[in-house]
Amino acid sequence: MIVRNLKFYACFLFIFFISFEIISHGPSRQKVVEKVVINAELTKVWEIVSNFSDFSWNPLVVSTDSNGNEIGSLRKIKSKNGSNISQSLEKLNEEKKMISWRIKETDQKLLPVNSYQATLILKDQGGKVEATYKAGFYRGFMGNDPPDELNDENSKKKVKEFISSALQNLKTILEK
Amino acid sequence: MSIINLKTKEVENIDANKSPLGIKFHGIYNKIIVSNWYDDTITIIDQEKKDKKTIKVGKSPAGIDIHPKTGQIVVANRDSNTVTIIEDLNKKIINTIKVQKSPFGVFFSSDGKKIYVSNVQSNSISVIDFKLRKIIKNFKVKEWPYQVSIFPENNELFVSNQRDDSISILNLQTYQLKNEISNVCGYPEGLNINKKLNLIIIACWFDNEVVILNLRNKKVIKKIEVCEGPRSFGKFVID
């Protein structure tokens, strides 16, 4: 009963607060969540995604130049179109099968984002693996009236494409 | 700005200044206080008299709180790295205190002796002695602290760290980190406690859920799915 009441008030009041945020607060933070189920062993999938030094499972990436696989390590990835992105490793949790990184610098043509953080979590699903890849970020242009290519819609679209293609390719590699 | 009558569910709309962000009801003056993000002002609305007053504060005002006994208003000015204390609403007398980088949330202790400020970019909490109008301590928490909630009986201060998916718990006597609840949920933002029900209630922006923890043992009791992108930095749980 208590919990049901809380849910009612929570939903009700959150709408109230959100309405302020959306119209007022400069760019709104965006999120993208993509999932894929991979027919492979959990350890095999984890082995690939936990290796921060190698992001080749993302098909848009042609090379990864990294200084390690520890928290704080940096990697510079080069994409097919020649754009670069620098990322730092923020979390690596073997037990929870979770890895998280951040973008330090990005080419806006590839990923038009600010304050981007991505997390990948793996869950065992009875012999298969559910991989959830999520990212929180702001659009490419932080001021008001962004150009079309750096607005919320396009920034979100680019992140979605980036993440989806990586997950699909991960599935392809592991199910070969 | 909309006012929702909880009993009748009727909505009353009031013209606000540019980009209202924080909102708080002032029980002593019976007025509504609103911070206007792009306007660098606070609006004081007298709903009954249909009267509106504006006070200039620092850049990008966000969180607001009100002294529980004497009614002074404190406002966090995110892009000035300051908090403004409105000492006298009618005479518009203000005091400015420099804090750390990007203060967003401000919270009075229940006895009104301290103000806690969450500094988003410096990943810290500033403690202001209200009598001295001075910072007495800054302490580090995790990334992007957002909301603070206090459990005075246990000398505990809870901080939601948005970008770290965690909650820091500080000892209010020693100002030392007492505990940390990691991986609580995705982007925890609003954090309220309910002493009567013994709960910590957290709004999780990324995961579209409200997480409820036991206030004593800090264990998760339940995760409730809610609407898209729940956010709040004020009091959102009714006692």
Tens digit of pLDDT at every position of chain A (176 positions): 444 455 545 444 444 443 333 333 468 899 999 999 999 999 999 999 999 999 999 999 999 999 999 999 999 999 988 899 999 999 999 999 999 999 999 999 899 999 999 999 999 999 999 999 999 999 999 888 899 999 999 999 999 999 999 999 999 999 98
CB pairs < 8 Å spanning A and B = 77
Interface touch B21/A24, C-beta < 8 Å: yes
Quote the CA–CA distance of A117 and A103 in Å, as a whole number.
7
pLDDT in tens, B48-102: 878 888 999 999 999 999 999 999 999 999 999 999 999 988 777 889 999 999 9
**Which residues are paired to B20 by β-bridges?**
B36
Interface touch B197/A2, C-beta < 8 Å: yes
Quote the CA–CA distance of A53 and A63 in Å, as a whole number.
10
- pLDDT over threshold 80, residue B178: yes
User: Please, which residues have CB within 8 angstroms of residue A21's CB and are 6 or more apart in sequence?
Assistant: A28, B21, B231
**Domain presence at residue A88:** yes
- Residues of chain A with a CB closer than 8 angstroms to some CB in chain B: 2-3, 6-7, 9-11, 13-21, 23-26, 29, 31, 93, 96, 98, 117, 119, 134, 136
Q: What is the pLDDT of residue B236?
A: 82
Chain A CA closest to residue B61 = A25
Q: Using a CB-CB distance cutoff of 8 angstroms, which residues of chain A are in contact with residue B229?
A: 18, 31
Q: What is the pLDDT of residue A17?
A: 43
Quote the CA–CA distance of A14 and A7 in Å, as a whole number.
10
Q: What is the pLDDT of residue B165?
A: 94
**What are the structure tokens assigned to B160, written together?**
């939601």
Q: What is the pLDDT of residue A26?
A: 65
CATH number at residue A57: 3.30.530.20
- Residue A18 sits at φ, ψ, to 5 deg, of -60, -40
Q: What is the pLDDT of residue B50?
A: 80
Section B178-201 average pLDDT? 93
Q: What is the pLDDT of residue B231?
A: 86
**Domain presence at residue A135:** yes
Number of structural domains in chain A: 1
**Domain presence at residue A91:** yes
**Domain presence at residue A120:** yes
- Identify which has the larger pLDDT, A21 or B167: B167
**Domain presence at residue A3:** no
**Domain presence at residue A23:** no
As a whole number, the mean pLDDT across chain B is: 92
- pLDDT over threshold 50, residue B121: yes
Q: Å from B147 to nearest chain A CA?
A: 14
**Residues of the domain holding A150:** 28-174
Q: Å from B20 to nearest chain A CA?
A: 6
- pLDDT over threshold 90, residue B20: no
B224 CB neighbour count, 10 Å cutoff: 17
Q: What is the pLDDT of residue B48?
A: 82
User: Please, which residues have CB within 8 angstroms of residue B157's CB and are 6 or more apart in sequence?
Assistant: B116, B125, B148, B149, B150, B151, B169, B170, B171, B172
Strands B93-98 and B145-151: unpaired
Q: What is the DSSP string of chain A?
A: -HHHHHHHHHHHHHHHHHHHHHHHSSSPPEEEEEEEEESS-HHHHHHHHT-TT--TTSTTEEEEEES-SSTT-EEEEEETTS-EEEEEEEEEETTTTEEEEEEEEE-TTT--EEEEEEEEEEEEETTEEEEEEEEEEEES--SSS--GGGSHHHHHHHHHHHHHHHHHHHHHHHT-
Query: Which residue, chain included where needed, has tokens 């206030």?
Result: B215
**Domain presence at residue A5:** no
- Residue B179 sits at φ, ψ, to 5 deg, of -165, 165
**Domain presence at residue A165:** yes
